[in-house]
Structure 1
């Protein structure tokens, strides 16, 4: 099983990247939180990998930190939560906020995630509250980005909107959320994080 990959970032979209490793391009799905911190194209990137091997596909899911991968693995142990839904959950909330929502049994916070209804949120809480009760939020603190990893966006607002739409939000909703938090000097990464935080309130 693949557990970690390091290579050159040759393509990036809101929900996936292609990592070139010795001439082989690995397509890796990733949550929006990882997309927000990606380096520029042709820069080196390290991702922790969760691999799913199926009869018709070999799927790779990438995370910036080992703790995030472990949280993802806990999510997909829940009945009815597959990798796609798990990625959507981790894209909609930062890991520390998600962990706190589960530990504090915050049903309302979970039902704000696109595609997560009340029954699914209740199942998440029931299955995970005991397993994650000893996890510490500071372990899931926001990743500090290395120097040179700012996103080179010509139009940060447009790129942030596209990222939110890829996550499952409607374009008008994404546009309103970004407009509500936009300020001079904010890059794509700042806009995405601020918009997600605003929509989670």
Structure 2
């Protein structure tokens, strides 16, 4: 098992990042909560990781905190929740808020997350309420400013939303509803996720 990666951030394209560790490039998928807090390429990063091994692929997922990784691991243990859906959940809500929703049995908030219907929300509450800390840890951190060029920002934002489990028409509609002028793909993704959560 790969527990963490410490290396140079080479590239970011939501929801994936590329990290150079001793000359080896690791492709890592990250929730938007982690992605938005990453520095610009060229800076050293430390990501706590979880490796998912399937017959057709090995997928590495990365998180800035051990608490968020622990929540991801709890999510993928829930019946019907795969790694992609877990990543979408963590992208649509902070770990702290998710814990509050589960402990308060707030299905109305959970069904606003991509790929989560009423039955899945109820299953999340039933299977996770005894596994999660009874006091949410408060994992929200301020996002760092980004300076990447907005060229193709809308297409990148739509691609990221698709990777997080949104349907094509839904992802396109969310991004097109946001004034794109002067915005990076990260700005558009953040705004789309906020709009989807309303």
TM-score interval, normalised by the smaller of the two chains: 0.7 to 0.9
8 A Cα contact 1:47 1:65, kept in partner? yes
Q: Which structure 2 residues correspond to residues 8-27 of structure 1 after superposition, within 5 A?
A: 8-27=8-27
Kindly tell me: are residues 92 and 106 of structure 1, through their superposed partners in 2, closer, same or farther at Cα, counting changes over 3 Å?
same
Report what 1:154 is aligned to. 150
Say whether residues 1:191 and 2:150 are aligned partners.
Answer: no
Aligned-pair Cα RMSD in Å: 2.7
Q: How high is the TM-score relative to the length of structure 2?
A: 0.82
1:126 deviation in Å? 0.4
Larger deviation: 62-71 or 172-181? 172-181
* Among candidates 142, 145, 156, match of residue 144 of structure 1: 142
- CA separation of 1:112 and 1:144: change in aligned 2, threshold 3 A: closer
Which secondary structure does the structure 2 equivalent of 1:139 belong to?
coil
Alignment CA distance shift 1:178-1:85 (3 Å): closer
Aligned twin of 1:72: 72
User: C-alpha separation between the residues in 1 aligned to 2:72 and 2:82?
Assistant: 10
- Sort the Cα spacing of 1:154 and 1:197 in 2 relative to 1 into closer, same or farther, 3 A: closer
CA distance, structure 2, for counterparts of residue 85 and residue 42 of structure 1: 30
TM-score normalised to the size of structure 1?
0.81
2:90 alignment partner in structure 1: 90
Structure 1 stretches lacking a partner, 5+ long: none
Q: Which moved more, 1:118-127 or 1:172-181?
A: 172-181
Contact 1:67 1:139 in 2 (8 A): no
Whether the 8 Å CA contact 1:38–1:151 is kept in 2: the answer is no
Distance in 1, Cα, partners of 2:168 & 2:194: 17
Name the count of aligned residue pairs. 197
